[in-house]
Amino acid sequence: MVPVGKHGLAEPGSVFVVEDDHDVRVAVRLILEDEGYLVDSATDGRRALERLERSDPPDLILLDLMMPGMDGWEFASRLRAHPRLRGIPIVVISAFDELPPPGIVAFLRKPLRSDAVLQLAERYCLH
């Protein structure tokens, strides 16, 4: 299903995945792209912020918390302080029951279920 945009036309929603695990990143990309979403990704918070600062903001960010370099907590804090990026909804994805950073809209437990990923994409990517 291709998300329907604000004008009733099919417009792909966009999701940015911040995840250091290659297999998880690829699986999420495939789940979302099969449904018509545009997906970009980064392997840690630092790379994600650099890419987000140079591009149009995505509709949704899926964020792992435990990553090398800049972890998910620091990434979320810096994103929330960024004037242009602070309003992007963030969903935490984690294998552990961790206390998520402030401002998180949802928490998905690994291993991820494709239906749960798609439900959140539908909720936050419809324009």
Tokens of 127: 């324009």
List, for residues 20-77, the tens digit of each pLDDT value: 999 999 999 999 999 999 999 999 999 999 999 999 999 999 999 999 999 999 999 9
pLDDT over threshold 60, residue 7: no
Q: Where are the beta strands (DSSP E) in 8-53?
A: 14-18, 38-42
- How is the chain split into domains, by residue range? 14-125
Q: Which of 15, 18, 13 is nearest to 76 (CA)?
A: 18
Mean of per-residue pLDDT scores for the chain: 89
- Please tell me the CATH code under which domain 14-125 is placed: 3.40.50.2300
| pTM exceeding 0.85 | yes
